[in-house]
């Protein structure tokens, strides 16, 4: 079974990459669990990021934001609502923090 690992937003790694663990079961025996594809993401405005996948493939996706407080430099992570396909997910930064990095997370349902 494939497991989706969340991209580390607090590091300066590539954002929006879905990592999968090696499969220990055959696809025929376990059934294929698909993840969304054709995904895009970005910083929408001063307060939020967005993510959208064109093909749900039976999975879900959500926006992730790395938020930074301009006065203190404190970093936090915000997560959007899970979506199935077509519509955007938004991750909102709270208080004075602003999005500095956008990304997304996927999962099979």
Name the residue among 66, 57, 61, 75 with its Cα closest to residue 102: 66
Residue with tokens 């999975």: 59
Question: Which tens digit of pLDDT belongs to each residue from 69-86?
Answer: 999 999 999 999 999 977
Rounded distance between C-alpha atoms, residue 42 and residue 109, angstroms: 24
Residue 47 contacts residue 60 (beta carbons within 8 Å)? no
Q: What residues have CB less than 8 Å from 105, skipping those under 6 apart?
A: 4, 6, 7, 18, 61, 62, 64, 79
8-50 pLDDT per residue, tens = 333 333 344 333 333 333 344 444 568 999 999 999 999 999 9
Which pLDDT score, from 0 to 100, does residue 22 have?
Answer: 32
Cα(56)–Cα(10) distance, rounded to whole angstroms? 27
The answer to whether 74 and 97 are in contact (CB under 8 A) is yes
Give residue 85's pLDDT. 75
């Amino acid at each position: 079974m494939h497991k989706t690992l969340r991209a580390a937003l607090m590091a300066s790694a590539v954002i929006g990459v879905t990592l999968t663990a090696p499969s220990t079961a055959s696809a025929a025996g376990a059934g294929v669990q698909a993840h969304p594809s054709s995904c895009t993401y970005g910083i929408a405005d001063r307060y939020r990021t967005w993510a959208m996948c064109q093909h749900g493939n039976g999975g879900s996706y959500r926006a992730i934001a790395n938020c930074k407080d301009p006065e203190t430099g404190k970093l936090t992570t915000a997560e959007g609502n899970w979506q199935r396909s077509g519509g955007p997910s938004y991750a909102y930064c709270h208080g004075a923090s602003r999005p500095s990095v956008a990304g997304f997370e996927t999962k099979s349902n």
